[in-house]
Amino acid sequence: MAGKLIVFCCVLVAVFAEKYTDKYDNINLQEILDNERLLGAYVDCLLDKGKCSPEGKELKDHIQEALETGCSKCTEAQEKGTYTIIEHLINKKKEIWEELCAKYDAEGKYRKKYEERAKSAGLTV
């Protein structure tokens, strides 16, 4: 009985300690943000307006959960990248930020947190 309990606890720890794949952690986010065509393709994927690349699909599969959990399963690179993208959208692509918020945070539960962080980084929201 004790052996089964230990195995069960180990499985629970493994499940809850799970991180998103780091397979795409080395993507050059600035290149995407600086390229209207690339950025548009990712946005269209997230908004169900276009096809998704493999990395776009990975993002789409986890964006809601990451938003809701404060990116708790994100790697360090993913968390940093998330804030880079959000701050870029708030500062330079407000209409895209609004569309994504409408889809993934219709009630505005998480938006305030990310906008406050952007303000503390010196951005006008």
Sorted by where each begins, the domain ranges of the chain are 29-121
Low-confidence ranges of the chain (pLDDT < 50): 2-16
Query: Domain 29-121 falls in which CATH fold?
Result: Antennal chemosensory protein a6 (1.10.2080)
**pLDDT of amino acid 12:** 40
pLDDT value, residue 123: 56
pLDDT score recorded for residue 111: 79
pLDDT of residue 98: 93
- Of 79, 84, 114, 82, nearest in space to 98 by CA: 114
User: Which pLDDT score, from 0 to 100, does residue 121 have?
Assistant: 66
The answer to whether the CB of 52 falls within 8 A of the CB of 107 is: no
The span from the CA of 39 to the CA of 99, in Å, is 14
pTM assigned to the model: 0.78
